[in-house]
C-alpha cells in the first residue's frame, strides 16, 4: 500500500547531510584506477564521487613531505602518464597510517565527470598497454630472464595441476584438495626457495636505482605477479583491500599457513606465498624469544610464591601472536601486563577474542589503544597508558618509516621504558634470505629494507643507550635492541 507524502521520511541524524554516492575506485575502473596527484604528491585512488576523492599515500613517508589538511593545489588524475582530469582542489583531511597516509580531497570549483573519466581511463590503458609503466627504462636482461624462469617454475606446477588434477577435481572434497595442494607445495619448496633467493639478490642490487626499480617492478607484475595473484594471499598483499599493506589478516595468513582458496590451483599458489613469508613466522618467534629471555634472566631469582610481573607494549600490534609464545616460554610465576597499540580496530578485536581461550590466560592482563604511531610522537594523556615499561617492541612498523622519523620514533619509545628496560625493533633486511623480491617487486609492498649499520643508526642519537643488533635464524629480519642502563 502506498504512503501519503506527509508520512514519507528522509534520513535521520548525520545521514541527513546528504553526500553524493562514493564509488570504490577498484570497481569503477575495473581494477586499474588512475593515479591521483595533488601538486607533487602521488596517491592511490581508493574511492571517488562527483565532488571529491579518497586516497592512500603508500610507502615510507616523511612528516615534511605530506601537505597539511586545508592545503589547496592542483589535483590531477593520470593513467600511464596521461592526464585524465585537472582541477583546483583542497585537501580536506589527512590521517597518517602504518603504510603511509589516508587523505581526502574535495574539488573547489569543478566536478568529476565520472563517465568521461572511466572512458578516458580505459582508453589510456588500452593504448598504452604496459609499455609506459617502465618510463622508458628497461628491466635488465638478467632480471627479465630470471622472471621468465620464475614464471616457468610456477607454470610447470599449474600445468600439471590442470592436466592431472583438473579432470577429477569436481569429485574431490575440500580436505582432499587441501592435501594435494600441501603435497605439491612441499615438493616445490626447495626450488621455490631458490627462486626467492635469486629474486632477492637481483632486487637488492638495483633497489636504490629508482628508475630501474620501477621498470623491474613493472616487468615483474606483468610476468610473475599476474600468475601468483590467483592465490588469495598474493592477491590480498597486491590489491591491499584494507587500503594499506600488512593488515592483520595478511599476517594471519602467514601464521596459520592454511591452504586458502577453492581450487587446487588457488591453494597451491597461496601456499607458495606462505613459503615466501616464512620470515614473518621467524620474526614473531625470535621476538617472543627476546622478550621471554628478558623475563627469565631477571625473574629467575624471584620468589615463585609471590611472582613477578613485567609490563610490555607492542606498537603496531596486529594479531599479537607472540603473546602465545611468551606465555608458553615463561613459568607460572611470571605474569604480564601487555598494552597493544594499533590503528586497526579489527586487529585489536581479533586479539581480545583469540586470547579468551589462550592457555595461561590468567597470567596476562591486556589493554589496548586504537591510535596511530604518530600519536605516540605527540605528548598526550594516552602516553600515560604505556609509561614505565620493561619492554616496548615493534616488529613491523619502523619498516615504513624514513630514517629521521624512525630515529625520532625509537627515541620516544626509549623514554617510555624504565631503567634496565629495552626497546626492541624488528625490520626487514636486503639479504638474499629476506623478502625484498616477493614484497617490493611482486606485491608492490614498499618498505625500508635496512642493513645492520642502518639499524644501529636509528639509535645513534640516544645518549647512554646500550645498542645491539641481532638477526632471526633465517637471516631475513634485523632486530635493534636498545637497552636503558639500570
pLDDT in tens, 409-422: 999 999 999 999 99
Q: For residue range 89-115, what is the model confidence (pLDDT) as tens digits?
A: 999 988 877 657 789 999 998 899 999
Is 453 domain-assigned? yes
Clarify whether residues 266 and 300 are in a common domain. no
The domain total for the chain is 3
> Are residue 109 and residue 160 in the same domain, yes or no?
no
Query: CB of 305 within 8 A of CB of 209?
Result: no
What would the mean pLDDT of 17-43 be, rounded to a whole number? 85
- Number of Cβ within a 10 Å radius of residue 77: 23
For the chain, what is the mean pLDDT?
89
432 domain residue, yes or no: yes
Query: What are the strands of the beta sheet with 477-483, ordered from one edge?
Result: 364-369, 334-341, 308-315, 389-394, 417-428, 477-483, 466-471
Distance CA 406, CA 349 (A): 27
User: Are residue 407 and residue 446 in the same domain, yes or no?
Assistant: yes
Domain end point (choices 96, 129, 162): 129
Q: Are residues 412 and 429 in the same domain?
A: yes
Residue 24: inside a domain, yes or no?
A: yes
Of 208-222, 231-245, 266-280, the poorest mean pLDDT is in: 231-245
Do 327 and 415 have their domain in common? yes
Domain carrying residue 81: 16-129
Angle between helices 278-299 and 322-329 (to 10 degrees): 40
- pLDDT per residue over 309-352, tens digit each? 999 999 999 999 999 999 999 999 999 999 999 988 999 999 99
The closest of 195, 176, 333, 335 to 267, measured between CA atoms, is 176
Domain end position, chosen among 243, 276, 309: 276
Whether residues 439 and 325 share a domain: the answer is yes
Cβ pair 286, 472 in contact under 8 A: yes
Establish if 8 belongs to a structural domain.
no
**Which range, 68-82, 168-182, 367-381, is most confident?**
168-182
pLDDT digits (tens, 9 = 90+) for 438-475: 999 999 999 999 999 999 999 999 999 999 999 999 99
Does residue 258 sit in the same domain as residue 284?
no
Residue 7 lies in a domain: no
Q: 459 and 364 in one domain?
A: yes
Residues 312 and 428 in one domain: yes
Paired with 470 in beta bridges are 479
Residues 296 and 249 in one domain: no
Domain identity same for 231 and 324: no
Q: Which residue has the cell 598504452?
A: 128
Show Cβ contacts of residue 72 under 8 Å, excluding neighbours closer than 6 positions: 88, 89, 90, 91, 108
Do 405 and 425 form a contact (C-beta atoms < 8 A)? no
Q: What is the pLDDT of residues 384-432, one digit of tens each?
A: 667 889 999 999 899 999 999 999 999 999 999 999 999 999 999 999 9
Same domain, 112 and 101: yes
3 occurs within a structural domain:
no
pLDDT band at 300 (very low <50, low <70, confident <90, very high): low
Residue 64 has pLDDT above 50, yes or no: no
Q: How many CA atoms lie within 13 A of 342 on its CB side?
A: 23
Q: Is the pLDDT of residue 299 over 60?
A: yes
**Residue 161 DSSP label:** I
The predicted model gives 347-368 an average pLDDT of 90
- Which CATH number belongs to the domain containing residue 306 in this structure? 3.40.50.150
The percent of the chain in helix, strand and coil, each rounded to the nearest 5, is: 50, 20, 30
Residue 4 placed within a domain: no
Residue 134 lies in a domain: no
Amino acid at each position: 500500500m502506498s504512503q501519503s507524502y506527509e508520512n514519507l521520511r528522509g534520513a535521520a541524524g548525520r545521514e541527513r547531510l546528504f553526500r553524493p554516492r562514493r564509488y570504490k575506485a577498484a570497481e569503477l575502473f575495473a581494477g586499474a584506477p588512475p593515479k591521483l596527484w595533488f601538486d607533487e604528491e602521488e596517491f592511490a585512488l581508493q574511492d571517488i564521487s562527483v565532488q571529491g576523492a579518497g586516497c592512500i599515500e603508500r610507502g615510507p613517508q616523511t612528516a615534511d613531505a605530506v601537505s597539511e589538511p586545508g592545503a589547496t593545489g592542483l589535483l590531477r588524475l593520470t593513467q600511464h602518464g596521461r592526464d585524465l582530469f585537472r582541477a583546483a582542489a583542497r585537501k580536506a583531511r589527512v590521517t597518517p597510517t602504518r603504510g603511509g597516509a589516508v587523505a581526502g580531497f574535495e574539488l573547489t570549483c569543478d566536478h568529476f565527470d565520472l563517465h568521461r573519466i572511466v572512458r578516458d581511463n580505459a582508453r589510456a590503458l588500452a593504448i598504452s598497454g604496459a609499455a609506459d609503466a617502465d618510463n622508458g627504462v628497461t628491466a635488465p636482461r638478467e632480471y627479465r630472464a630470471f622472471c621468465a624462469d620464475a614464471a616457468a617454475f610456477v607454470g610447470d606446477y599449474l600445468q600439471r595441476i590442470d592436466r592431472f588434477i583438473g579432470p577429477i577435481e569436481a569429485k574431490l572434497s575440500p580436505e582432499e584438495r587441501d592435501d594435494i595442494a600441501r603435497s605439491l607445495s612441499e615438493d616445490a619448496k626447495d626450488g621455490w626457495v631458490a627462486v626467492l633467493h635469486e629474486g632477492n639478490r637481483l632486487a637488492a642490487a638495483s633497489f636504490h636505482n629508482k628508475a630501474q626499480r620501477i621498470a623491474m617492478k613493472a616487468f615483474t607484475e606483468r610476468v610473475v605477479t599476474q600468475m601468483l595473484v590467483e592465490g588469495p594471499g598474493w592477491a590480498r598483499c597486491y590489491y591491499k583491500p584494507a587500503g594499506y599493506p600488512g593488515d592483520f589478516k595478511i599476517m594471519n595468513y602467514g601464521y596459520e599457513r592454511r591452504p586458502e582458496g577453492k581450487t587446487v590451483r588457488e591453494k597451491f599458489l597461496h601456499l607458495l606465498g606462505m613459503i615466501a613469508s616464512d620470515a614473518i613466522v621467524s620474526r614473531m618467534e625470535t621476538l617472543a624469544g627476546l622478550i621471554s629471555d628478558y623475563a627469565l634472566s631477571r625473574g629467575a631469582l624471584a620468589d615463585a610464591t609471590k611472582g613477578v610481573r613485567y609490563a610490555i607494549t607492542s606498537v603496531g600490534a596486529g594479531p599479537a601472536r607472540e603473546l602465545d609464545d611468551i606465555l608458553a616460554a615463561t613459568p607460572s610465576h611470571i605474569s604480564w601486563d601487555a598494552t597493544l597499540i594499533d590503528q586497526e580496530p579489527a586487529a585489536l578485536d581479533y586479539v581480545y577474542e583469540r586470547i579468551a581461550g589462550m592457555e595461561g590466560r590468567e597470567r596476562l592482563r591486556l589493554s589496548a589503544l586504537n591510535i596511530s604511531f604518530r600519536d605516540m610522537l605527540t605528548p598526550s594523556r594516552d602516553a600515560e597508558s604505556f609509561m614505565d615499561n620493561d619492554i616496548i617492541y615493534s616488529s613491523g612498523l619502523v619498516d615504513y618509516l624514513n630514517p629521521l622519523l624512525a630515529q625520532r620514533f625509537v627515541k620516544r619509545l626509549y623514554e617510555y621504558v624504565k631503567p634496565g628496560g629495552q626497546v626492541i625493533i624488528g625490520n626487514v633486511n636486503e639479504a638474499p634470505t629476506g623478502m625484498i623480491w616477493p614484497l617490493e617487486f611482486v606485491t608492490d609492498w614498499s618498505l625500508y629494507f635496512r642493513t645492520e649499520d642502518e639499524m644501529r643508526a636509528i639509535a645513534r642519537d640516544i645518549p647512554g643507550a646500550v645498542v645491539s643488533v641481532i638477526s632471526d635464524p633465517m637471516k631475513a629480519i634485523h632486530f635493534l635492541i636498545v637497552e636503558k642502563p639500570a
